[in-house]
A and B are shown apart, each in its own frame.
Chain A
Amino acid sequence: LAKTTQPISMDSYEGQEVNITCSHNNIATNDYITWYQQFPSQGPRFIIQGYKTKVTNEVASLFIPADRKSSTLSLPRVSLSDTAVYYCLVGPTSGNTPLVFGKGTRLSVIA
């Protein structure tokens, strides 16, 4: 499974756009990139998933360059409630490979 590397933590003021970059240099051809969000005392929650280029939903955008060796999760105009740990996961969506979590990035949004 591809190993991922993310910043340990980030701070941001409310209203700013936050970009969290994840490195996955040995991503395989059939791997997808998935981001999960985890609030304290809750289980991880799916945010977004992509294979290449750009994916956008109501919560975030995911930018994936052509070589797919990294990806960037973009959160527009964060609020205090976006304070959480964000995990970047890489793996196939077919078969029975389980999700593999890294250390994640702890995002703190301050007023």
Chain B
Amino acid sequence: EAGVTQFPSHSVIEKGQTVTLRCDPISGHDNLYWYRRVMGKEIKFLLHFVKESKQDESGMPNNRFLAERTGGTYSTLKVQPAELEDSGVYFCASSQVIRDRKTEAFFGQGTRLTVV
């Protein structure tokens, strides 16, 4: 079974440009999460989808970040316009719910975003 896949693995863009990160969760996983780690900092929660609905987006830094999960399958995270401080590694994770309990979260390998 394929794990969580993220694309691209690395993206280098100039300040002011737009970048879209994609995450394909494990098939059948309703929960999808986005996390980010800025260099030297902890992994921080960004937002959580349950199917196509945003359950919690309290971690989104600002309105330059837009996440979507149309159809409840893959998700995209768009940064527009990108700023230098957006550089970091963006992780996606998915999990399912069995009898009201979340299973372990499976993480993708991350997308390294470098804004220059």
Contact = CB atoms under 8 A, between A and B. Distances in A.
A98 B43 contact: no
A56 B56 CA distance: 33
B107 A94 contact: no
Given A49-B104, A96-B56, A103-B42, A43 B91 contact: yes
Is chain A's binding surface mostly helix, strand, loop or mixed? loop
Contact of B102 (A43, A94, A100, A103): A94
Interface string B1-23: 00010000000000000000000
B101 to A, nearest CB: 5
B109 A96 contact: no
Interface of B: 4, 33, 35, 42-45, 48, 50, 55-56, 59, 91-93, 100-102, 104-110
